[in-house]
Each structure stands twice: as structure tokens, then as C-alpha cells.
Amino acid sequence: MTKIRTRYAPSPTGKMHVGNLRSALYEFLIAKHADGDFMLRIEDTDQERFVEGATEIIYSTLEKAGLQHDEGPDKDGGFGPYVQSERMKTGIYLKYAKELIDKGEAYYCFCDKERLASLKTEIVEGKEIMIYDKHCLSLSKEEVEKNLAAGMPYVIRQNNPTEGTTTFHDELYGDITVNNSELDDMILIKSDGYPTYNFANVVDDHTMNITHVVRGNEYLSSSPKYTRLYEAFGWQVPVYVHLPLITDENHKKLSKRSGHSSFEDLMEQGFLPEAVVNYIALLGWSPEDNREIFSLEELIKEFDYRRISKSPAVFDMVKLRWMNGEYLKAMDMDRFFPMAEPFLREALGDGFDLEKIAAMVKTRIEVFPDIAGQVDFFKELPSYDVEMYTHKKMKTDKASSLEVLTELLPLLEAQEDYSNDALYQTLLSYVEKKGCKNGYVMWPVRTAVSGKQMTPAGATEIMEILGKEESLKRICTGIEKLQKES
């Protein structure tokens, strides 16, 4: 059996878009599921779109996402060079283009800009496309030689038939048959000598022994032309998996503004790489059961590209946040604390037991930046509405709270041990003496020491962090507030 070989073939044009990361992930999973090789190829033939530093982003994103390639520009596996501009210098694309010319499947074209501009255009998928009229196909061999010798600029075009049909197969979309008359004579080699993506992807996938190609479905309409190239060369066509579009919650294109367009954007918002990878795996693919949390190892085991759905995948930020929260909950404290610490420090500064506070918030946040909103009350008592003391379920109101806090104050003043356990005992014995429910006492105390409806911990845990002086100060503030109301 042939070894499964997949490739991620990004163009270094900027940040790594979520759609690209999904292609990379699926390619990685297909290869690893079958003990195959996952290769990285840099497609930099469009020099105008090249962005400085973009290749570094590709490396760092793959590394952070855990999608380690077996071969690539930095890891020779015998199929290099792995960067198309370097491949070009070896003459590989021109060699194969000439082979097609010899077979009558391609031809030199010397038409200048003016002539091309005068040709008729067609609107294909919203874009204005020029249909080349095969003018240069009729040049004699001698004319071509003469033009080349004179150094006339040229491109090499594919020579597609004007009759008959071409059928292309995609694993998800099935057989797609098009009339050859619809296939324009696309450029294979540009006037700057670089191959187009259209040509290079075929030559490279074949010469690099690629068995499975995963990419966005924007390439679907060009694929019959690639099939014709494979057929012209007599090469075996790889398995194609074209992925449906990823949209935002409003079924619009993912945008920077909504925060989910690139891996970097998501990292900046504090998502964990493994949660993002897990979430992206589910953008179009689903396992046989309803399971949602998968480590990369588990994805490798479970992934089957035949279970990818054709319908557009919706990127749901709420769901990703939930998933990230699940990863935080499951994380060891040893890993969680160093990651949470900068956020805690920024919110609280020095003087707090950050490790203890980290343990409190761990199960309550979805992303690290949520920390500030959870812990800000430790630093300073927020101004709160006195109505918060009224809680139906706890059967508390302003009067009962005033009574509880006033009665507790001397006990808490007398107490020296401000550990959670000791404080809890004090409150419990007060509850017992009063013959009331816990909440009747805990609610007003927690309200007084936090000024918040929701806190990451109970009253006495908060008091332990605050210490005696600050706790008493806050309880006195509560008493004053309540007195004003009565």
C-alpha cells in the first residue's frame, strides 16, 4: 500500500486564517491517522502578495497548534526544496511545462497587455474573467522560436479542448463534470518565470508523492483544469477533499472585527491552542457519537475525512468560549497558575495570595482575560446596591442582614485566626445559635465583603484572602449602608 502523504501548502501572505488552520489540521489528521507523513510546502509564487514575516507566522502557528510537520523547508525529507520559489530555480516547472508543450497540451503565448485587454470577458462567480482566444496556439514552431530568440516576453498556457467534457472527483462533492468549452487556457508559467498556483500545485503534489489534498472549496471550480493536467502527464490524481466555507454566526465571512478570523486573533483573546484546535476540528467534521472534547491524540485516532459535512460551518464564539473553559477546568494547577498569574497580577498587583485566588477562578472562567472581572473586588470593594442584601431564596432582606452583620461584628473583631476553616466555624456556630439556615448568614456576609452578586468563592474564603482588617472594614461599610436605609 502506498504511504499516505499530505501537505499543508500555505501562501505566506499574513496571519493564519482559521480556514487555513482547518485545512492544515485535517491534512495532519489524515496523515497521522494512517501513520503517514505530513508535509509543509511554502507557496510563494505570487511575489506581489508575499508578506515579510508571514513564513515565521506559519511555523509558529503550526508549532503552537501541535501540528508538527514531518517534512518542510526546515526538515528535509528527500522531496525538497519545499519552497516554491526555490523549486522554480531548479527549473522543475519550466521542464514540465515544456513537456506539455511537446504533447500539444500547452503553448507559448506572446500576446501583449493591449491585445489581452481587447479580449472579451465573462463573469464567473462574481469575478470578471478574460477568456483567452487561443490566438498564439496557431503560431508556427518557427515563429515561436523567433520570438523566444528575440527575447519577447511570454507566458505558457494550458491548451484545453473546446469540445467534450472533463470529470473531476472530490471525496465530499462526488463527481463534477464540466464542458471543456468552459475551461479557459489558464496560464501555467507567468511572464516573470514563476509558475502559477494552478500549475505548481499539480507539479508539486505529484513530484512530492502527495496522496491526499485538503483545501478550501474556492479551488473546486479550477479543479477540472488540474485533472486535465494530471491526465496530460499521465499522473495519478490525488484524493481531493474540498472543505466548505466557515462563516460567522451571521453567516457572513469571518472577519478580524468579530475576532475569529485568524489563529493569532484567537490567541490574543486568550484562547488555548488546544481548545482552538479541538474546536476547529469540529468545524465541518463530527465523530460518530456526540462527543466534543478531543485531544489531538484522540482526534488522530477518530478522524475520518469521509465524515466531513458539505454544509457551511458556523464559527460560534460562544461555543469556543465554553470549550476553552472546559480545557481550563481540566488543566493541572501546575500549568494553570503560571498562565493565569500575569492576568491575576495585572488585576490585583502584589499583596495577595495569587495561587489561592487562581484556584478559586479556575472553574469559573472561560478565557484568561475573564479573570479581571472575577477578582477585581479583592483589590477594592466595588460600590454596590444595598438591594443586593435582599435574596428571596436565602430569605434575607435589608433588616435581617443588618441584624446579622451587627451581631457578627464583635465576634469577628475578637477572632484572631482568619483562616477559612476558623472563620467558617465561627459563622456556623452563629447559625446554630440563631437557628437559621446557612444562607441567611452567609449571604449578607459575602455581599458585605465582596460587593458582588457572584463571586468565585464563599464568604469565609474571601475573608481569608482579604485578611482581618480589610474584612472588618467591609463589614462595617455594609452595616453603615444598611443603617442608612433603615
Residue 11 in contact with ligand GLU, rule: CB under 6 A: yes
The nearer residue to ligand GLU, 215 or 481, going by C-beta atoms, is 215
The pairing of strands 246-247 and 313-314 is parallel
Residue 10 in contact with ligand GLU, rule: CB under 6 A: yes
Stretch that binds ligand GLU, among 8-16, 61-69, 165-173, 300-308 (CB under 6 A): 8-16
Sheet containing 37-40: which strands, arranged edge to edge? 37-40, 5-8, 212-216, 239-243
Does residue 455 contact residue 465 with C-beta atoms inside 8 Å? no
State the sign of the Cα–Cα–Cα–Cα dihedral 159, 164, 168, 172: positive
Of residues 69, 47, 46, 45, the one with CA closest to residue 59: 69
Least distance CB 189 / ligand GLU (angstroms): 17
Stretch that binds ligand GLU, among 7-15, 146-154, 264-272, 284-292 (CB under 6 A): 7-15
* Pairwise CA distance, residues 15 & 10, whole Å: 11
- Interacting residue with ligand GLU among 6, 158, 159, 201 (CB under 6 A): 201
- Interacting residue with ligand GLU among 4, 5, 6, 9 (CB under 6 A): 9
The nearer residue to ligand GLU, 233 or 322, going by C-beta atoms, is 233
Stretch that binds ligand GLU, among 3-11, 163-171, 188-196, 232-240 (CB under 6 A): 3-11
Does residue 249 contact residue 314 with C-beta atoms inside 8 Å? yes
Residue 256 falls in the annotated catalytic set: yes
Residue list 232-251, contact with ligand GLU (CB under 6 A): none
Least distance CB 22 / ligand GLU (angstroms): 11
* Pairwise CA distance, residues 407 & 328, whole Å: 40
Least distance CB 43 / ligand GLU (angstroms): 4
Residue 43 in contact with ligand GLU, rule: CB under 6 A: yes
The nearer residue to ligand GLU, 11 or 396, going by C-beta atoms, is 11
3-state class of 304 per DSSP? coil
Least distance CB 87 / ligand GLU (angstroms): 13
* Pairwise CA distance, residues 237 & 175, whole Å: 13
State the sign of the Cα–Cα–Cα–Cα dihedral 340, 343, 346, 352: negative
Residue 5 in contact with ligand GLU, rule: CB under 6 A: no
- Pick the catalytic residue: 95, 103, 253, 256? 256
Least distance CB 61 / ligand GLU (angstroms): 13
Number of residues that bind ligand GLU (CB under 6 A): 7
Stretch that binds ligand GLU, among 9-17, 350-358, 388-396, 413-421 (CB under 6 A): 9-17
Q: What are the residues whose beta carbons fall under 8 Å from the beta carbon of 362, sequence distance 6 or more?
A: 328, 329, 331, 333, 336, 340
The nearer residue to ligand GLU, 9 or 246, going by C-beta atoms, is 9
Least distance CB 284 / ligand GLU (angstroms): 16
* Pairwise CA distance, residues 356 & 423, whole Å: 16
DSSP string of 154-220?
A: -EEEE---SSSEEEEEETTTEEEEEEGGG----EEE-TTSPBPHHHHHHHHHHHTT--EEEEEGGGG
Residue list 205-224, contact with ligand GLU (CB under 6 A): 215
- The rounded radius of gyration (Å) of the Cα atoms in the chain is 33
Which phi-psi region, left, alpha or beta, contains residue 78 (left: φ > 0; alpha: ψ -120 to 50)? left
Least distance CB 152 / ligand GLU (angstroms): 30
Q: What residues are annotated to the active site?
A: 256
Q: Which residues are near ligand GLU by CB under 6 A?
A: 9-11, 43, 197, 201, 215
